[in-house]
Amino acid sequence: MQHNVLILDFGSQYTQLIARRVRELNIFCEIFPYNNPPTDLSSYKAVILSGSPFSVRAEDAPHPDLTQIRGKLPLLAVCYGAQYLAHFDGGEVAPSNIREYGRANLSYIKEGEPFLEGVSANSQVWMSHSDTIKKLPTNGVVLASTKDVANAAYKIEGETTYAIQYHPEVYHSTDGKQMLENFLVKIAEVPQSFTPNSFVEDIVAELKAKIQDDKVVLGLSGGVDSTVAAVLLNKAIGKNLYCIFVNNGLLRKDEFESVLHQYKDMGLNVKGVDAADRFLSQLAGISDPETKRKTIGRVFIEVFDDEAHQLEDVKWLAQGTIYPDVIESVSVKGPSATIKSHHNVGGLPDFMKLQVVEPLRMLFKDEVRRVGATLGIDPELLGRHPFPGPGLSIRILGDITPEKVRILQEVDAVFINGLREHGLYDKVWQAGAILLPVNSVGVMGDERTYEKVVALRAVESTDGMTADWVHLPYEFLMKISNEIINKVKGVNRVVYDISSKPPATIEWE
């Protein structure tokens, strides 16, 4: 795997967006916590320091060791990083007298500066900080200013070190991608060689060398990630890949049968295991979201282990883990806190005794889809909305019962089929229904009802790290609401979720 750009995370909500923008330039990058960087930096060609919710003036502020980076590798310090370089190297950082958050415009741009080449006068940038740099560090030179921020961007003479107090990674910074390209391609001379084709070639070769003639078992979920992982492994090791597709009783309506048939048509060596009753019995009476996730993860491993033991000489377990799963599941002081646990990250219990292989571990969701297209996977399968590993259990708020699962499967089917029929499915990144733990009064015919409420959720996003709710047509929502209430016994009210991420998450649990 290529190791071109290192991003040190100081806990900013935007850190993963930095990585996304770098990847969009066909440049491979990795995120590491600031206090646990790689020990060997020889393969990296540039380093980026992220922002942070901390103040550099605070006693518990993140304090990275940059001795192997400063003056040795091209360095771009963003927001907190820029203030850190100033505060600890002859400059001054002080509380800002004005609120420096939101849109601002560059009122001064230093002429002839490669970092700002192609950046127009009055270019909009996104600020997000409460401190500001009053005095530049030793050998600092101003590159750009805004009306209120004199030292919006600077460089350090004698080093290939650049620093900015705004966030180039967010879409609100109109020339942000250009600045990143200027730094990485023109200044640091990082090759733009990370493409879907190159990834497939590299990972297939890596899998062949790592696995050789060993047998691998993989749990398929029906989603894009595990499917692409399976096709990559199948390309590398063929029939030595044994796929298991488990019905946990929490899939969408009729999904177990239809997806199993689709996998077999793709030439995968796959076995379907219907364990719905086992999962639902273990979930009975559990309402806490994290407990539900962990219970499903535990039972899945138990079922998987039962099946794996029927195979002889299996050495590896393959997983469809992707990069956001890895990052969100690493919680250290400073960098981004864990939002929720991911049941496919964190290794295996001792009794399984298998080595783990994760072909997609370094890819974001949209990159997984592009790799899948390169592999020739059916576009309809690649275009499927993300679906949570714990399935409908985290879309049923409260405890899980077979009746609640039936209701939600029926509601979900009406909603998703409706999106397809009205040409809206591909305009939505993820959609689903949530069964709420409340009943509401209704009237059907001449009878009073007291039945369940469901919420519909549809969001648009690039990689799930941020998301906006989709403005579905009122006529469509009216039709779907009527259809759900008329067709699904037990539901008498439908609401639509208009929350964005952040502050809300895409799933309700």
Give catalytic residue positions.
Answer: 79, 167, 169
Range 88-124 burial, b when 16+ CB lie within 10 A, else e: ebebebeebeeebeeebebbebeeebebbeebeeebb
Helix (H, G, I), strand (E, B) or coil at 231: helix
SS3 218: strand
Q: Which two tokens stand for residue 106?
A: 């560059």
Whole-number Cα distances in Å, 183 to 127, 195, 286, 488: 19, 20, 51, 56
Nearest 5°: phi and psi at 379? -55, -30
Query: Dihedral through CA 281, CA 285, CA 288, CA 291, nearest 10?
Result: -30
CB–CB of 105/152 below 8 Å? no
- What is the DSSP-derived secondary structure letter of residue 391? G
Residue corresponding to tokens 């360095």? 75
For residue 342, the Cα-to-chain-centroid distance in whole angstroms is: 11
> Could you tell me which residues are beta bridge partners of residue 450?
441
The runs of H, that is alpha helices, within 360-473 are: 365-374, 379-382, 402-421
Furthest-apart CA pair in the chain: how many Å?
83
CA 282 centroid distance within chain? 29
Whether residue 107 contacts residue 147, with contact meaning beta carbons closer than 8 Å, is answered with yes
Geometric angle at alpha carbon 388, from 249 and 349, rounded to 5°: 80
Q: Rounded to an integer, what distance in angstroms lies between the CA atom of residue 388 and that of residue 396?
A: 12
**Cα torsion through 453, 459, 465, 466, rounded to 10:** -110
| 3 state DSSP class of 467 | strand
Q: Which single residue is written with the structure tokens 């401190």? A: 131
